[in-house]
C-alpha cells in the first residue's frame, strides 16, 4: 500500500507515548523487593505471561507463597502497548497453525477457544474494567491475490469452528468504508477487543487479592542453581530462594542462555488518532467495531477504542543488530510517517484527523510465530517465549502449560507436541541480521508481486521458518 499523501502533518502534535498507558486509572507503583526472602514459586515478568502464570499457579496451589518480580511496571512491556486483539488462536492464526501443527490443529483450536472463553469469564467474574468486547474481525483484501487467499481460508476455517462470511467489495465497504478494499473475510467468533493495559492492571489486582505478592521496580539480574533451590538475584540486591521459577520475560534480555537462539526482538509500531466526531464516524461506518487487518504479508491491524479513536499499527517490523533493545527504538519517526500515510490511503475521508499518540514495542519473534517452552536447572526453571505478534490471548494458554510444568503434572495443553517442541533457531550475528533483512525484503517484494514468494521465502517455508510482524 502506498501513501496518497505523506501524512506527516497529522503527526505534528503527536506524543511519543503509549495510548493505553496514558490513562488516569493507571495504578500506583507497587513497592520493590528490598529484603531477601524465600518463596514456593517466583514468577519473573509482569506482562500477561507472568500475571496469568502467577494466577493459575496460585489457583492450583493456594497455600504456596507466589512472588512476582517485575523489573519496571506491570504492563510496561508488550502487554501494555499492543493492539488489543485478544485472539483465540494460540498458533498465530489458523493458516500458521495448519502449516506447523497439522496433526494437532483441531485440539489446538478447541483449547484456544476455551482459553479465550476463560479470559472472558475471569474479566466478567472479577469485573475488570478493560472494555473487553465483541468477537468479530474483518480481514480485508487490498489486492486480488489477497482476496484469493481469504477465499481459501473461508473454505477451510468452518471445519475448525470459525463462523465466516466472505464479502465482496461492496459488502465489506458497507461494514467499513475504504476505497482500497477489494473484499474481505468476516470472522464472527474468534477474537475479542480489549484495552490491554487495563486488562493487565486488573489481572495484577486479582492476583494480589488471591495472595500473589507483586514487587515492581525489581529487576532480576540472574538465576543460580543451588541444588534443590534456585537463587533469584535482583539488582536491589535482595534475593529470593525458591524451588520453582517461571520466566515471562518476552523479548527482553533472557536470564537463560538457551532462550536467545530461538527469538529475535523485533519492534512493532502503532498510532492512535484523536477521538472521531460523529460526522467522521459516519464517513467510515464501522458500526460493528470489528478488529481489522489487511491480508498482505506485511499487514496493518486497526481497531476502534472505547472513546472512538482509531488505533492503526503494524506493517514495519524493525530489528536492530545484536538483538538491540533500547527505549529510543520506540520512537521511530520514519515508521510513524509511513503508518500515517498508509492510514490516509485507507481512509481518505478522514483527511485532517490528527494522531495523538505514537509508540513502538518489542515482540519476541520466533521462526514458527508461536510460543514454545523450555526448562533449566533440572526443571526448577520454566519459561514460555516466542508469541511473536499474537500473545494477548495466547499467553494465558502458555501460563496454563507453565503452571502444569511447575506443579509437575500434565494437562490437555502441556502434553501436546506443540508444548514439547522448539522452533528452528535463528543463527548468531552477523547472519541473524542478514536473515531477518533478507526475509523482510522478500516479503515486501511478494506483496508487490501478487503474493508470489521468491526462492528465499520458498526455502524458508520448506524449512518451517518465516518472519512477520
Ligand atoms: C506494538 C505491539 C502490538 C501488538 N499487538 C498485538 C495484538 O493486537 N494482539 C496480540 O495478541 N498480540 C499483540 N502483540 C504481542 C503481545 O503484546 C505480546 O505477545 C504479549 O503481550 C506478551 O506478553 P509477555 O508477558 O510475554 O511479555 P511482556 O508484556 O513484554 O512482559 C514481559 C515483562 O517482563 C519484564 N522483565 C523482563 N526482564 C526482566 C527481568 N530480568 N527482571 C524483571 N522483569 C523483567 C518486562 O519489564 C516486562 O514487563 C503486540 C505487541 C506489540 C509490541
Asked if 27 and 201 count as a contact pair (C-beta separation under 8 A), the reply is yes
3-state secondary structure of 365: strand
What is the C-alpha separation between 436 and 240, in angstroms, rounded? Answer: 38
- Mutation pick for ligand 1 pocket among 389, 400, 402 (CB with most ligand atoms within 8 Å): 389
Q: Which residues contact 149 (CB under 8 A, 6 or more apart)?
A: 141, 295, 451
3-state secondary structure 270-334: EEEECCCCHHHHHHHECCCCCEEEECCCCCEEEEECCCCCEEEEECCCEECCCCCCCHHHHCCHH
Do strands 264-273 and 291-294 pair parallel, antiparallel, or not at all (unpaired)?
unpaired
H/E stretch holding 174: helix 169-175
Q: What is the pLDDT of residue 11?
A: 96
- Nearest atom of ligand 1 to the alpha carbon of 385: 26
Q: How far apart are the CA of 391 and the centre of ligand 1, in A?
A: 8
Split at pLDDT 50, 70, 90, the class of 466 is low
pTM: 0.96
User: Which cell numbers in the block locate residue 131?
Assistant: 472494555
Q: Please state the domain extents for the chain.
A: 9-21+105-195+267-365, 37-84+197-262+369-420, 431-463
User: Which cell numbers in the block locate residue 158?
Assistant: 468452518
Decide whether any atom of ligand 1 lies within 6 Å of the 291 Cβ. Answer: no
- Nearest to residue 68, comparing CAs of 55, 82, 81? 55
- Nearest atom of ligand 1 to the alpha carbon of 391: 19
Q: Which residues contact 42 (CB under 8 A, 6 or more apart)?
A: 66, 67, 68, 69, 230, 232, 240, 242, 244, 245, 246
Residue located nearest, by CA, to atom 48 of ligand 1: 77
Q: How far apart are the CA of 75 and the centre of ligand 1, in A?
A: 8
What is the C-alpha separation between 378 and 228, in angstroms, rounded? Answer: 9
Q: Is the peptide bond before 143 cis (omega within 30 degrees of 0)?
A: no
pLDDT tens track for 215-255: 999 999 999 999 999 999 999 889 999 999 999 999 999 99
Decide whether any atom of ligand 1 lies within 6 Å of the 112 Cβ. Answer: no
| Superfamily covering domain 9-21+105-195+267-365 | D-Amino Acid Oxidase, subunit A, domain 2 (3.30.9.10)
Handedness of CA 304, 47, 91, 116 (dihedral sign): negative
Mean pLDDT for all residues in the chain:
95
pLDDT tens track for 46-55: 999 999 999 9
CATH topology assigned to domain 37-84+197-262+369-420: FAD/NAD(P)-binding domain (3.50.50)
pLDDT tens track for 112-156: 999 999 999 999 999 999 999 988 999 999 999 999 999 999 999
Q: What is the pLDDT of residue 468?
A: 46
Amino acid at each position: 500500500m502506498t501513501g496518497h499523501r505523506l501524512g506527516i502533518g497529522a503527526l505534528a502534535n503527536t506524543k511519543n507515548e503509549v495510548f493505553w498507558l496514558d490513562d488516569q486509572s493507571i495504578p500506583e507503583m507497587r513497592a520493590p523487593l528490598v529484603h531477601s526472602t524465600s518463596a514456593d514459586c517466583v514468577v519473573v515478568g509482569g506482562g500477561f505471561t507472568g500475571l496469568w502464570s502467577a494466577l493459575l499457579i496460585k489457583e492450583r496451589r493456594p497455600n504456596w507463597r507466589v512472588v512476582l518480580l517485575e523489573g519496571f511496571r506491570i504492563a510496561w512491556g508488550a502487554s501494555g502497548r499492543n493492539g488489543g486483539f485478544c485472539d483465540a488462536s494460540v498458533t498465530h492464526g489458523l493458516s500458521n497453525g495448519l502449516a506447523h501443527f497439522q496433526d494437532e490443529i483441531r485440539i489446538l483450536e478447541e483449547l484456544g477457544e476455551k482459553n479465550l472463553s476463560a479470559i472472558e469469564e475471569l474479566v466478567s467474574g472479577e469485573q475488570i474494567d478493560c472494555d473487553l468486547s465483541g468477537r468479530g474481525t474483518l480481514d480485508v483484501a487490498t489486492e486480488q491475490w489477497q482476496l484469493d487467499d481469504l477465499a481459501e481460508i473461508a473454505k477451510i476455517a468452518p471445519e475448525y469452528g470459525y463462523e465466516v462470511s466472505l464479502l465482496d467489495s461492496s459488502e465489506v465497504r458497507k461494514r467499513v468504508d475504504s476505497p482500497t478494499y477489494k473484499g474481505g473475510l468476516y470472522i464472527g467468533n474468534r477474537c475479542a477487543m480489549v484495552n490491554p493495559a487495563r486488562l493487565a492492571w486488573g489481572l495484577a489486582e486479582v492476583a494480589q487479592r488471591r495472595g500473589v505478592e507483586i514487587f515492581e521496580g525489581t529487576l532480576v539480574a540472574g538465576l543460580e542453581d543451588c541444588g534443590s533451590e534456585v537463587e533469584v538475584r535482583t539488582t536491589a540486591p535482595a534475593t529470593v530462594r525458591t524451588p520453582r521459577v517461571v520466566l515471562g520475560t518476552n523479548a527482553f534480555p533472557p536470564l537463560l542462555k538457551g532462550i536467545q537462539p530461538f527469538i529475535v526482538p523485533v519492534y512493532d509500531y502503532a498510532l492512535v488518532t484523536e477521538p472521531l466526531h460523529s460526522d467522521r464516524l459516519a464517513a467510515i461506518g464501522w458500526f460493528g467495531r470489528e478488529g481489522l487487518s489487511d491480508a498482505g504479508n506485511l499487514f496493518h491491524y486497526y481497531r476502534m477504542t472505547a472513546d472512538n479513536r482509531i488505533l492503526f499499527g503494524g506493517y514495519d517490523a524493525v530489528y536492530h543488530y545484536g538483538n538491540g533493545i533500547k527505549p529510543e527504538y520506540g520512537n521511530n519517526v520514519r515508521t510513524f510517517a509511513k503508518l500515517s500515510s498508509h492510514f490516509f490511503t485507507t481512509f481518505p475521508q478522514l483527511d485532517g484527523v490528527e494522531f495523538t499518540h505514537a509508540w513502538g514495542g518489542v515482540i519476541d519473534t520466533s521462526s514458527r510465530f508461536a510460543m514454545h517452552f523450555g526448562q533449566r536447572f533440572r526443571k526448577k526453571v520454566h519459561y514460555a517465549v516466542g508469541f511473536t505478534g499474537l500473545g494477548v490471548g495466547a499467553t494465558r494458554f502458555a501460563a496454563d502449560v507453565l503452571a502444569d510444568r511447575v506443579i509437575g503434572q500434565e494437562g490437555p495443553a502441556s502434553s501436546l507436541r506443540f508444548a514439547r517442541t522448539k522452533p528452528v533457531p535463528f543463527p548468531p550475528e552477523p547472519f541473524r541480521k542478514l536473515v531477518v533483512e533478507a526475509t523482510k525484503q522478500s516479503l515486501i517484494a511478494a506483496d508487490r508481486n501478487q503474493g508470489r514468494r521468491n526462492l528465499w521465502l520458498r526455502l524458508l517455508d520448506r524449512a518451517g521458518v518465516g518472519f512477520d510482524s
